Amino acid sequence: MTEHKSNLTGPNVVGPNLIWYENLKRGDVALVGGKNSSLGEMTQALGAKGIRIPPGFATSSGAYREYLEANGFNGMIREKMGNLAAGRETLHKVGASIREAVAGGKWPEKIEADIRAAYRELGKRTGKAEPSVAVRSSATAEDLPDASFAGQQESYLNIVGEAALLEACRRCYASLFTDRAITYRALKGFDSEKVALSIGVQLMVRSDTGGSGVMFSIDTESGFDQVVLITAAWGLGENVVQGAVDPDEFQVYKPFLDRPGVTPIVAKSLGAKDIKMVYASGAAGPTRNVPTSKAERGMFVLSDPEIIELARYARTIEDHYGMPMDMEWARDGDTKTIYIVQARPETVMARVDVHALKSYRIIEAGPKLIEGLSVGEAVAAGEVCLLDSARDIDKFVDGAILVTSTTDPDWVPIMKKASAIITDHGGRTSHAAIVSRELGLPAIVGTGNATHVLHDHQEVTVSCAGGDHGVVYQGIAKFAVDEVRFDTIPATKTKIMLNLANPAAAARWWRLPVDGVGLARMEFVINNGVRVHPLALTRYAELKDDTVKAEIDRRTKGYARREDYFIEMLAMGLSRIAATWYPKPVIVRMSDFKTNEYAELLGGRQFEPKEENPMIGWRGASRYYSDGYKDGFALECRAIRRLREEMGFDNVIVMIPFCRSPEEADRVLAVMAENGLRRGDKGLQVYVMCEIPSNVILAEAFAERFDGFSIGSNDLTQLTLGVDRDSGTLAGLFQERDPAVIWMIETVIARAHAAGAKVGLCGQAPSNDPDFARLLVKAGIDSISVTPDAFLAVKKIVAAVEIE
């Protein structure tokens, strides 16, 4: 048996077969596996920093090897694995025969005595005669930088009594030879004879009456390292890990965790949480799933202070290990205490090439079939293979798109043959999501109805290219793959910024060396996140449509006031953009819907007039001080104030669109000040869009009222040339390079600079025509804001022009 003298001394050690967590450290992987060594490390090193670990002990790898030797299993295992490698026996037959033998073995007398003694000691420490424990497997090769071993071996919950504990330990040993574990080791190149198993025996946290979940100290999709991702569900944590439940999801901005007066929760999403795992008794087994109540489904598992507490735990653990971490947590329903029950290195982003970025773009696609949470950022197309059970592995066609309700570790042999994965259930930290990332596959989880909408042999395209939400399209779509090498990007004096709308997609570009965000479109967040017309909230009593009122009631449930829903959703959506590049400037344009677009929001038709030409109608600044929208604009201002002051993102600059005159500017600025956004207070800068000829003609007057200009080349071209930008008939006349438009741009740059104001351009022209950037640089523009896919081309042109 392997000796490990450094850890086999002290009053809490039962013997060479068992070690208490407080006597273990992270370097003891060979002795007790990755999971148990990590729990020991945290017990030793992080308890004083507030990290709570349930007490427990681990069996040694030596005990496992002695168990196999005492029962004569080594020769049998070697023979069976050889038969599998040679094709003489199937995976299913080999795994079943080894598991049956190992689970039926007899304990060596000393090991059994040690386990019994340690269990009794745990009872003394916790004041319980027969404590309920979690019995978890910890392989000596698990949780390495390139292999998560997520769920490959079994865990058993709510185990009570010495006899039940010994039986659960035998089953843990046997689980080293499940079909999925054998397959996974082969996939990762691990020799089964060189992998041993330690068993962790840990006091159960009463999360069956509380909640539990998974968290990562980075964004699992983009690798953005400044946020903590937390998922949560009611009851025991197995449902979250296995993807059997759609959990709540939260993101927290780490740099602001210790900033006084700031609540840096940048995303909150309510999950369905339709079942929960609880303790069972008698013949039902140790645990069972029961439906959640309507109240539980309609509320978040975690309060804001608990979310912040967990995020601090994640940051502390990450700082201690010096790497991104994957953690499981549990909240005791009786004491409300939150515990960390597992922590291991994050294994996917650790392998990402930090010097390059691949970007996928859908060029042409069929109808949208279903949506869900996206995993990865790729696109895949092919035929659907719909399976109900992992036992149907023989029916799976290599390279097909796997569609199923949910996955667990038994699915790994199938998943590694798929080109993409779609599930009905599960969150971003579910088994399907974790394994898909590790295999480098695009996946869409938590669709709700994929197994009902899709069918075998159907051709579909799985797109994870749009941020948090993935889409399944009918048919084989046309798509492009672009790669940006960061080491080829030159430096420029002219600032190159991004145009962004979708907050969910912002983090994927966090590695780009941009100078900030030149245009963040508020209306996108309202349209895709809030979805309710602000006046339908401020003037709810005036609504005439009962169906609209019922839907608003559903969306705003849990908020003290309906208006708070709008403010929180808008502030959080914008915060994800602001956080990605903090402290670089992020220019947020206040809502710039046209009346026909506002009307499409929930409840909007009642409050919006019908205009013949909304493009040059009641839009932008004219709405903000009008009695017809003033209270709606107040909600926008309160969201910005929350974003800057309560959430801490003081890098946000406000921009006013379609401001026709200096007098109109004065009225807008006065309304903003009434709502707590006074230019200059707390560093607030206010810009104006330059998209109307009057903005150029009266540039000096506008410069007195605003800190900067952002040229909107589309509208400026439309209004300079008198060409409807949406007209197909006049498309040939819409030329941003027209001499009149160029004169407008050059003139406003010169006049604004003379008045001490900055000037940028956030129109589409440089993105569609990077050479247009030459004209801007020669005119002396301060910044150019482009779409992410055009960033590299524009950056290179600007660098070349600056050299010239």
Residues 122-142 have a mean pLDDT of: 88
Q: What angle do CA 65, 68, 73 make, to 5 degrees?
A: 140
The distance of Cα 537 from the centroid of its chain, to the nearest Å, equals 29
Amino acid at 606: Q
The pLDDT assigned to 15 comes to: 65
pLDDT value of position 425: 92
Least confident of 77-91, 96-110, 128-142: 128-142
pLDDT at 570 over 80: yes
Instruction: Give the per-residue pLDDT at 654.
Output: 98
Most confident among 12-21, 237-246, 621-630, 716-725 (mean pLDDT)? 621-630
Average pLDDT, the chain: 91
pLDDT of residue 668: 98
The reported pLDDT for the residue numbered 46 is 96
When comparing pLDDT for 108 and 142, which is higher? Answer: 108
Tens of pLDDT, residues 759-800: 999 977 887 777 788 899 999 999 999 988 788 888 989 999
The pair of three-digit structure tokens given for residue 665, joined into one six-digit string: 């500017």
Catalytic one of 169, 385, 425, 431:
431
DSSP secondary structure string for all residues of 184-232: HHHHHT--GGG--EEEEEEEPP-TTSSEEEEEESS-TTT--TTEEEEEE
Q: How confident is the model at residue 12 (pLDDT cuts 50, 70, 90)?
A: very low
- Which candidate in 169, 637, 659, 762 is catalytic? 762
pLDDT surpasses 60 at 143: no
417 in Cβ contact with 438 (< 8 Å)? no
- Which segment of 143-147, 170-174, 232-236, 464-468 scores lowest on mean pLDDT? 143-147
How confident is the model over 335-373, as pLDDT tens digits? 999 999 999 888 777 667 667 778 888 999 999 999 999
Cβ atoms of 44 and 175 within 8 Å: the answer is no
Q: Residue 295 — φ and ψ, nearest 5°?
A: -65, -40
Catalytic residue flag (residue 464): no
Q: At what angle do helices 630-641 and 662-674 cross, to 10 degrees?
A: 60
pLDDT band at 243 (very low <50, low <70, confident <90, very high): confident
Query: How crowded is the C-beta side of 315, counted as CA atoms within 13 Å?
Result: 18
Choose from 146-150, 426-430, 437-441, 542-546 the range with maximum mean pLDDT.
542-546
- On the question of pLDDT at 144 being above 60, the answer is no
pLDDT digits (tens, 9 = 90+) for 257-305: 999 999 999 999 999 999 999 998 765 568 899 999 999 999 999 999 9
Q: What is the pLDDT of residues 500-539, one digit of tens each?
A: 988 888 888 898 999 999 999 999 999 989 999 999 999 9
> In degrees rounded to 5, what are phi and psi of residue 627?
-60, -20
Confidence of residue 496 (pLDDT cuts 50, 70, 90): very high
Question: In this structure, what token pair is assigned to residue 392?
Answer: 């149907």
| Known catalytic membership, residue 169 | no
Q: Which amino acid appears at position 241 of this protein? A: V
Cβ 122 vs Cβ 147: under 8 Å: no
Question: For residue 618, with 0-12 CB atoms within 10 Å meaning exposed, 13-18 middle and 19 or more buried, which class applies?
Answer: middle
Can you give the pLDDT at residue 435? Answer: 83
State the helix-helix crossing angle for 179-188 and 91-103, rounded to 10 degrees. 110
**Exposed (0-12), middle (13-18) or buried (19+): which is 144, by Cβ within 10 Å?**
middle
Percent of residues, the chain, with pLDDT higher than 70 = 96
DSSP 8-state assignment for residue 646: I
Question: Would you give the DSSP letter of residue 643?
Answer: I
| Residue-level pLDDT at 284 | 55
The answer, yes or no, to whether residue 427 has pLDDT greater than 70, is yes
| The pairing of beta strand 443-445 with beta strand 420-423 | parallel
Q: pLDDT band at residue 445, thresholds of 50, 70 and 90? A: very high
Q: How far apart, in Å, do the first and last CA atoms of the chain sit?
A: 73
pLDDT average, residue stretch 71-78 = 95
In this structure, the chain runs to a length of 804
Rounded Cα gap, residues 498 and 99, in angstroms: 56
- pLDDT (average), residues 492-503: 93
